[in-house]
Amino acid sequence: MTSRTPLAVAAAAGVCVIGLGSAVPAVAAPQAQQDKAMVSLFHGVPGMDVDVYANGDELLGDFKPGTVTDPQELDAGTYDIQVFAAGSGPEGTPAIEKSIEVPAGANATIAAHLSADGNPELTAFTNDTGEVGADKARLTVRHVAAAPAVDVRAGGTPIVSDLVNPKEATTEVDAGTVSADIVLAGTDTVAIGPADLDLKAGSGTAVYAWGSADDKNLKLAVQSIDVTKASPNDSAAVLAGGSWLAWAAGAALLTAAGTLTLRGANRDN
């Protein structure tokens, strides 16, 4: 596959609006919580540092691939997002300029990454903040790399099979240090790892397989999920529209046209 420049792809994306739609909770939360959302961003497009602006103010500078932001509690509302090549804004022309509607409710991570074919795109995942079993840890694996289907192994034993981009799979494992690797589906050919994961009892962890197999830069990134409290509203969410990367008023980048649905735990079909 010929390598593509993600910034050039992004520059042609145009202007659009992303909306995160929330479900009504079974038990109403206080109004102050209902007006909030928790959002993190994972930057998984290799080779591009960016500066991100919202409503003319810089949110992130020199945002580097492989980085997961801390979750930010955001006010619901609409944000005008501009994404510049690092060091070129705000006087320059933005590579991406978009409006993002952020409703109350979701606890989500927005992942900017490569599709299986190597095109920059966005996938939004719902973070499972539910209680974890005693002496267990919740492990979520998210395939966001330009690579074929993979199996995920812990200590050499497959725990996730035939995972494809941009799907995720979630399981509970015994707490402790786990030696994990990622192999091509149905083989022992290691694509990433092994890497030691410290999975504490009662914790939640998301692992991202990102990068490009053709460019030989596949890597893992790890995100800790706060399972000590539920999200402002326990909600699913939908991203409508978009093409590239964006981040709801705390970190920004956006992606691909169409409708993207936040995928909950174990929704890997």
pLDDT in tens, 98-152: 566 666 777 777 777 889 998 877 777 888 989 998 899 999 999 999 999 999 9
Instruction: Decide if 269 is inside a domain.
Output: no
The verdict on 49 and 102 lying in the same domain is yes
The verdict on 167 and 223 lying in the same domain is yes
Q: Which of 184, 171, 190 is nearest to 266 (CA)?
A: 171
Q: Collapse the DSSP code of 34 into the 3-class scheme (helix H, G, I; strand E, B; otherwise coil) and give the result.
A: helix
* pLDDT score, position 16: 36
Q: Which of 256, 208, 244 is nearest to 52 (CA)?
A: 244
Question: Do the strands 190-199 and 204-212 form a parallel or antiparallel pair, or are they unpaired?
Answer: unpaired
Higher pLDDT, 185 or 256: 185
* pLDDT score, position 266: 37
The verdict on 191 and 112 lying in the same domain is no
The verdict on 206 and 225 lying in the same domain is yes
Instruction: Decide if 268 is inside a domain.
Output: no
For residues 148 and 218, the answer to whether their CB atoms sit within 8 Å is no
* pLDDT score, position 216: 95
Q: Tally the residues of the chain.
A: 269
Which of 52-56, 87-91, 178-182, 230-234 has the least mean pLDDT? Answer: 230-234
* pLDDT score, position 168: 97
**CATH number of the CATH domain containing 166:** 2.60.40
Q: What are phi and psi of 10, to 5 degrees?
A: -65, -35
The verdict on 14 and 53 lying in the same domain is yes
The verdict on 7 and 55 lying in the same domain is yes
The verdict on 110 and 236 lying in the same domain is yes
The verdict on 110 and 5 lying in the same domain is yes
51 pLDDT band, cuts 50/70/90, is confident
The answer, yes or no, to whether residue 164 has pLDDT greater than 70, is yes
**Cα 44 from chain centroid (whole Å):** 8
Instruction: Decide if 96 is inside a domain.
Output: yes
The verdict on 82 and 140 lying in the same domain is no
The verdict on 51 and 137 lying in the same domain is no
> Could you list the residue range(s) of the whole structural domain that residue 164 is in?
131-229
* pLDDT score, position 248: 37
The token pair that represents 143 in the structure block: 């395939």
Number of domains in the chain: 2
Share of the chain above pLDDT 90, in %: 38
Question: Do the strands 120-126 and 57-63 form a parallel or antiparallel pair, or are they unpaired?
Answer: unpaired
The verdict on 122 and 182 lying in the same domain is no
Instruction: Decide if 189 is inside a domain.
Output: yes
- With 0.95 as the threshold, say if the pTM is over it: no
The verdict on 159 and 246 lying in the same domain is no
Task: Count Cβ atoms within 10 A of the Cβ of residue 117 and give its class: 0-12 exposed, 13-18 middle, 19 or more buried.
Answer: exposed
The answer, yes or no, to whether residue 2 has pLDDT greater than 70, is no
194 pLDDT band, cuts 50/70/90, is very high
For residues 18 and 81, the answer to whether their CB atoms sit within 8 Å is no
The answer, yes or no, to whether residue 21 has pLDDT greater than 70, is no
